[in-house]
Amino acid sequence: MFVDNVLIVTIVAAFLIAVLIGPLFIPFLRRLKFGQAIREEGPQSHFKKAGTPTMGGSIILLALIFTVLKFANAKMEIYFLLLVTLGYGLIGFLDDFIKIKKKRNLGLTAKQKFAGQIVLAIGAYILLLMMGHDTSIHLPGTPWKLELGYFYFPFLLFLLVGTTNAVNITDGLDGLLAGTGAIAFGAYAIIAWFGQDYDTAIFSAAVVGAVLGFLVFNAHPARVFMGDTGSLGLGGALAGIAIMTKTELLLAIIGGVFVVETISVIMQVVSFKTRGKRIFRMSPLHHHFELTGWSEWRVVVTFWLVGMFFAGLGVYLEVVTIR
């Protein structure tokens, strides 16, 4: 079989848990008035979404925890993945909570977020040292690798912070991150399984199921948003899985949508500050397509298809050309 039955069972279990939690959790968020604040500089069409419950990423994290504890073995690799996932999810939770409490679109400051991300990266690095983790990085599509030694820590810091923020940037339309995330984690479930890293494969499959279960409530028109709780948690999980499977550089391909979204923001900022002109009507890129007249659903589905292309390319480079 292309993938073992255990991955399918894991996906289904996480999906069902998320679907069961959703109807209980969403009304709870409404009662607490945990509604999303819409940034003033965003597309005008988004103002009708104000008040939609946020922090729905908690649904994903809860479904993930229950499923992983049931199907994965209790080992250091799983502890590492839970650390980076729940750790960055906690930073996102604090950010969401402050936004809601203060009734504003700004939660933690950039310095506070970055400080938390650095602390988590240090903790992750210490745990990797205890595990005797390989500090080399593999070049995608080749049998070559580069030993980083002590330079692996700054690389790890860049990978964790960069990935969590790139994934966070992509969370801007109903179902956009949930769909592209499920695709990327699905690719990693296949890669981990073929690499005989079965527990990481199960963890990846659990994320797929949890995110798809959340998508039931997050598809347009969304009944709940994942918030930074979900987007930062998913970013940490994605980076963690890339680290465990030794495909750190391949992440830039599998997560191609996240990379493109981030580059669009960087290009927009640099162009405006240096030339006083904008390249896109609005960044990140998904807002640009919205403002050209595309429907929200068309943008989301298009990005899903692009995500499938990048994920397929990543799986091909790792599984077909190397294994």
What residue numbers does the annotated binding site cover? 168, 228
Cα–Cα distance for residue pair 225/203, rounded to 1 Å = 23
Residue in 137, 182, 177, 130 with CA at minimum distance from that of residue 158: 137
Place of tokens 């990846």: 204
Contact 101, 254 (CB under 8 A): no
Residue in 110, 69, 102, 98 with CA at minimum distance from that of residue 86: 69
Contact 176, 294 (CB under 8 A): no
Residue in 130, 127, 122, 187 with CA at minimum distance from that of residue 157: 122
In what helix (H) or strand (E) does residue 138 lie, and over which residues does it extend? strand 136-138
Binding residues for Mg(2+): 168, 228
Cα–Cα distance for residue pair 185/202, rounded to 1 Å = 11
